[in-house]
Chain A
């Protein structure tokens, strides 16, 4: 698993992907930070966080699109799957690689908080909780997008489908208002990421929210393993 994690990271940083992703992340968060915090003299990062949530819907698919699609296309998966490593470890290595890059991107928020601390007292509990929430939200999306990448051989298809799925997840709250059938509405509310993300925004760390995002991540890591396993049998 360590070997795969290391290779993933070196592949991100040896290609343009890591730099493009970092640049995009820093650029947009910088714009939001400037517009909300600098221009309005605000010590709250919540708007910046809120807007970045939209940006990561598109950034995460760029990080994950190659993970299994490209392995299949280049036939390098033969090296991975004939090595004495379990499939779960392969998938976890890939997942952690993508997550580490994403976490490096997100770490910029800590820098913004430090910048704010020079001029005002930042609300550390809110900033840190939202940061953790953002990481967990990202982890769930990464697992889902890696799963999508395992379904196809084309990185482009993986990226576009992932973006569409991420958008649907993001807009889940809007769907609940459109649907009048109660039980469907209930279900959607239960799986709506926003429901679980909201308490982080107010500086609350609650176990059910954390467990929700970790379960989604775990579930899709498991699904990915199943897809790869099934491919051997067909």
Chain B
């Protein structure tokens, strides 16, 4: 549906986007993750045809954005980082204008009403955008992107500036959109991306440093999984018992609690589930498990690792 090939962008002599390639299939929700200034917005602006690439191509549903911009652009709904709102218009007038500008062929009134209902701005329809709060403006921007039911929806940090309740609503909306549309959405909030997206691309300094299914990504980076354990009993016995489990790579005691129990971190191979083995081992030596949590390396850890430049998942693939 969306095919990005060797996309590169120079701003003067600064390389903002460096040879990015990826493909997004119909119905996929792709999270575009990266620290500020990593090139997320530049990439999105190139995909939508707002900026031209220095080299490389973007193809939307078979239409090349530079060769056939009119067709390609008609397939995209885009919410830029700053919603492109004419603040002197009312919400309804603005959406009508965007409807005409995009040459949408659907029944005008019904479609605009539907989009407003979807983004929950029906009550604001006759208010002037100037007087709306940031959250509502963001939704008007989103409504604008949805006009005409474009097959590809691109959202640049859609949840910035929203309150938690709105964020949850928008995430829900994005997930629903993902059922019918191809969605690319950028964020620097990790939990958000992992919650909403099927697939994540991490970009840092203009380069893709990771591209994987959401659940595979952290495993891929840490090279193993972790289990945190709180147990009561002799430290030596517990460590010894756990070490005997075949899949375990390492056990470390990370601290102890006031009630005498100890905290342990167990690292084990990705393929196996060792929770039963740990339970059995503890029962055997008479130790008591107070808490056990199977935790992947947190996304935050992963993100820092990826963007610090020490790790390149693609090298492993090659």
Choice from A77, A84, A232 contacting B103 with Cβ under 8 Å: A84
Provide the bound-state CA to CA distance between A6 and B97, in Å.
8
Choice from A11, A82, A83, A86 contacting B86 with Cβ under 8 Å: A11
- Asked whether, in the complex, the Cβ of A78 is within 8 Å of the Cβ of B78, the reply is yes
Choice from B11, B78, B86, B100 contacting A2 with Cβ under 8 Å: B100
| Residues of A in contact with B (beta carbons under 8 Å apart) | 2-4, 6-7, 10-11, 14-15, 74-86, 232-234
Choice from B48, B78, B84 contacting A77 with Cβ under 8 Å: B84
Whether A82 touches B50, Cβ cut-off 8 Å, given contacts A10-B93, A76-B84, is yes
Interchain nearest-CB distance for A79 vs B (Å):
4
Choice from B52, B78, B80, B97 contacting A232 with Cβ under 8 Å: B52
Interchain nearest-CB distance for A225 vs B (Å):
13
Kindly state the interface size class of chain B when it binds its partner: 20 to 34
Instruction: Check if B87 is an interface residue, CB within 8 A of chain A.
Output: yes
| Residues of B in contact with A (beta carbons under 8 Å apart) | 11-12, 45, 48-52, 69-71, 73-74, 76, 78, 80, 82, 84-89, 93, 97-98, 100-103, 144
Provide the bound-state CA to CA distance between A81 and B80, in Å.
12
Interchain nearest-CB distance for A19 vs B (Å):
14
11 contacts between A and B (CB under 8 A): A4-B101, A10-B89, A11-B88, A15-B88, A74-B84, A76-B86, A80-B101, A83-B101, A84-B69, A84-B70, A86-B70
- Asked whether, in the complex, the Cβ of B85 is within 8 Å of the Cβ of A76, the reply is yes
Interchain nearest-CB distance for B66 vs A (Å):
10
Q: Which residue of B lies closest to A7 (CB)?
A: B97
A7 CB contacts on chain B under 8 angstroms: 86, 89, 97
Q: Which residue of B lies closest to A85 (CB)?
A: B101
- Asked whether, in the complex, the Cβ of B88 is within 8 Å of the Cβ of A232, the reply is no
B93 CB contacts on chain A under 8 angstroms: 10
Q: Which residue of B lies closest to A230 (CB)?
A: B52
A15 CB contacts on chain B under 8 angstroms: 88
B102 CB contacts on chain A under 8 angstroms: 83-84
Q: Which residue of B lies closest to A74 (CB)?
A: B87
- Asked whether, in the complex, the Cβ of A14 is within 8 Å of the Cβ of B88, the reply is yes
- Asked whether, in the complex, the Cβ of B51 is within 8 Å of the Cβ of A79, the reply is no
Interchain nearest-CB distance for B131 vs A (Å):
14
- Asked whether, in the complex, the Cβ of A78 is within 8 Å of the Cβ of B85, the reply is no
Choice from A75, A86, A233 contacting B80 with Cβ under 8 Å: A75
Provide the bound-state CA to CA distance between A78 and B52, in Å.
13
- Asked whether, in the complex, the Cβ of B86 is within 8 Å of the Cβ of A84, the reply is no
Interchain nearest-CB distance for B6 vs A (Å):
17
- Asked whether, in the complex, the Cβ of B78 is within 8 Å of the Cβ of A82, the reply is yes
